[in-house]
Chain A
Amino acid sequence: MLRETILLAFREIRRNLMRSSLTILGIVIGVAAVITMVTLGRGATAQVTSDITKLGTNLLQIRPGQHRHGPGGTQSTGAMFKVDDADAIAREISGLVAVAPMASQSTQAIYGNENWATSVIGSTPAYLVVRNWQLESGRQFTDSELRGGKGVCILGATVRKELFGGQNPLGNTIRLEKLSCQVIGVLESKGQSSFGTDQDDFVLIPLRTLQRRMAGNIDVSRIYVSAEDGVSTSKVEEDIQRLMRERRRITMNEEDDFHVRDMQELVSTMTGTTRVLTGLLGAVAAVSLLVGGIGIMNIMLVSVTERTREIGIRLAIGALERDVLMQFLVEAVVLSSFGGLIGIILGVVAAAIGARVLAVPFVFDPGIVAIAFLFSAAVGVIFGYFPARQAGQLDPIEALRHE
């Protein structure tokens, strides 16, 4: 009997192909939107997590400044650090892999006729360790280059591409404003960060070279610290805080004029944000599913009115109320499930394209597909029930008289 009912539903849908297609459009769009949003959201979350992991796990960042105003919005009113501060951290605090003091500024990189606006970072080989950079070719700075503030540099992949194209840059000399420096290494590419910035767009030179020959001071604007695996970053954070308060002579009742930021914190903040966004977008998409359900209800009501006579015939020859109810309910569910199926296909395709455009990983989740499908079937049951009940409760005498 159920088989008959399903076959009947398919036949009825085929008969009104145009109307059926328009009816399920709402469901198709709703399901496609949910799938796309959630898939892209998951991709973005994965992207953020992997980006921050690329920054270096167990990474701590120490910056001058008074208050924390969220990511990037700090006030640098505290005094800059000196190389000594970094040395002190390395010396006094246990459980660290590397400590990298750094300073940076924007600059113009020039090679031959090529000219590229980028930033220059002055640091030590430890920088590559704490920030998880790998050398694609070439070598690190030597101790004498560091101490002597020599004109040598390591290029990020973007700068290398912009200045040298396909050529091998190693051994060539580029100019950073007035400073000439020889290319001794090239970094592997990390690509775009989830914040939308190009991580490969910088030139690395020895810290002392930057201080002496470009900035003209001895400031260190930031210190990166990488803790050993298994060492609690919050413990390291506390230790650094204590040490720096001591070194900067901050009294008990004064606030820090620097801050230490734990990357783990950033990971959870950022993934939390994308998760909330994904949820919101998913919810908006789910509303369109609901609207699609109302569309199905409308058309089913029209269909019941149109087929009143047929319903009368069926009731007269012995169909029970629930037989007729089932007939219309199954029709609504078949319609909405079919819409769900098409929506899933569209959604997955749209998500795959969207992931490519937005450069986030395509995270296919069979769970969300199953949920979307069940949800669309449920929409059919919920919104199909009312018209189906209408049909089942028709008075056969009236229905047979209906023209």
Chain B
Amino acid sequence: MKTTFSTQISEHSLIELQGVTKVYGTGSAAMKALRGIDLHISQGEFVAVMGPSGSGKSTCMNILGCLDTPSNGAYLFEGVDVGKLSRDQRALLRRHYLGFVFQGFNLLNRTSAIENVELPLVYRGVPAHERRESALRALEAVGLKGWETHTPGELSGGQQQRVAIARAIVTDPKVLLADEPTGNLDSARSREVMEMLDAFNHEYGITIVLVTHDADMAAYAKRIIRFLDGIIDTDEENGKML
């Protein structure tokens, strides 16, 4: 049974998409990636986004991550219309409120784990010693105490993803956007990563939006949104949580 969640307007609405469309190209070559998305995500939610390739879920994630802007419709982040922000203002929004975890880890090569974790704090202008302390705490939180000076090349995939998670949470973001974080990991490492995300959601109340193909991973979320052909097909509470 499908219950729609999106129509409930919460006063804590952190993320709000109103009739968002995204069109790539122009004229006859135009490709509609999103055909009108309405979505509310409240503070503290753990949302899994699923759907086949080309269903628009990655485009939607890029918009949620303020890396891209809607062609039409509005994206309100804490009531601010992101579509009207400049490139630099969106960068500042990412800097202060968002954390990213990618499928391909996206760590800086030949740069130690701790320096990777410190990077977002560098752009925030945090003094060096504070930065180091925060990064050490974040690495400890993902279970990588003692691995601080290792570079990504010296770490396993699971460890690299944990460094990436530490980098995402070190700034204490409002939202953590995870784009297939377990896509390159085996099932044991995947479960580790998911448990970690679950813990951050629980303990720190970080809102998590997770894109995944894997139903087992989506099962960690409290709410599952399925995309199909540029629209939201289903939006339901996770049965296991009920």
Interface residues of A (CB under 8 A from B): 1, 4, 15, 309-310, 312-323, 396-397, 400
Most buried by A among B96, B100, B110: B100
Whether A317 lies near B67 (C-beta < 8 A) is: no
CB distance from A379 to the nearest CB of B (A): 28
Residue in B62, B88, B106 whose CB lies within 8 Å of A309: B106
What residues of B have a CB within 8 angstroms of the CB of A313 in the complex?
106-108, 119
Could you list some 20 contacts between A and B, CB below 8 A? A15-B110, A309-B106, A313-B107, A313-B108, A314-B119, A314-B123, A315-B91, A316-B65, A316-B100, A316-B106, A317-B94, A317-B95, A317-B123, A318-B95, A318-B120, A320-B123, A321-B91, A322-B88, A400-B102, A400-B106
Residue in B62, B65, B92, B122 whose CB lies within 8 Å of A320: B92
B93's nearest neighbour on chain A, judged by CB, is A318
Is residue B125 contacting chain A, with contact meaning CB distance below 8 A?
Answer: yes
What residues of B have a CB within 8 angstroms of the CB of A323 in the complex?
123
CB distance from B32 to the nearest CB of A (A): 18
B95's nearest neighbour on chain A, judged by CB, is A318
Residue in B68, B88, B109, B120 whose CB lies within 8 Å of A317: B120
Whether B88 lies near A321 (C-beta < 8 A) is: yes
Whether A317 lies near B119 (C-beta < 8 A) is: yes
A15's nearest neighbour on chain B, judged by CB, is B110
The 8 A CB mask of B67-82 against A (1 = contact, 0 = none) is: 1100000000000000
B99's nearest neighbour on chain A, judged by CB, is A317
Is residue B167 contacting chain A, with contact meaning CB distance below 8 A?
Answer: yes
Whether B96 lies near A318 (C-beta < 8 A) is: yes
Q: Residues of B within 8 Å of A, CB-based: how many?
A: 25
Whether A318 lies near B123 (C-beta < 8 A) is: yes
Tell me the complex Cα distance, A43–B73, Å: 74
Residue in B88, B91, B125 whose CB lies within 8 Å of A1: B125
CB distance from A324 to the nearest CB of B (A): 10
Tell me the complex Cα distance, A173–B122, Å: 89
B88's nearest neighbour on chain A, judged by CB, is A320
Whether B120 lies near A397 (C-beta < 8 A) is: no
What residues of B have a CB within 8 angstroms of the CB of A320 in the complex?
88, 91-92, 123
CB distance from B129 to the nearest CB of A (A): 13
What residues of A have a CB within 8 angstroms of the CB of B123 in the complex?
314, 317-320, 323
Is residue B87 contacting chain A, with contact meaning CB distance below 8 A?
Answer: yes
Whether A321 lies near B167 (C-beta < 8 A) is: no
What residues of B have a CB within 8 angstroms of the CB of A309 in the complex?
106
Interface positions, chain B 82-138, Cβ under 8 Å from A, are 87-88, 91-92, 94-96, 100, 102, 106-110, 119-120, 122-125
Given contacts A314-B119, A317-B100, A317-B167, whether A396 and B106 have CB atoms under 8 Å apart is no
B105's nearest neighbour on chain A, judged by CB, is A313
CB distance from B71 to the nearest CB of A (A): 15
Whether B87 lies near A321 (C-beta < 8 A) is: yes
Residue in B102, B109, B124 whose CB lies within 8 Å of A318: B124
CB distance from A389 to the nearest CB of B (A): 13
What residues of A have a CB within 8 angstroms of the CB of B91 in the complex?
315, 318-321
Whether A318 lies near B62 (C-beta < 8 A) is: no
Tell me the complex Cα distance, A159–B108, Å: 76
Interface positions, chain B 168-202, Cβ under 8 Å from A, are none
Tell me the complex Cα distance, A318–B109, Å: 18
CB distance from A192 to the nearest CB of B (A): 58
Tell me the complex Cα distance, A309–B104, Å: 11
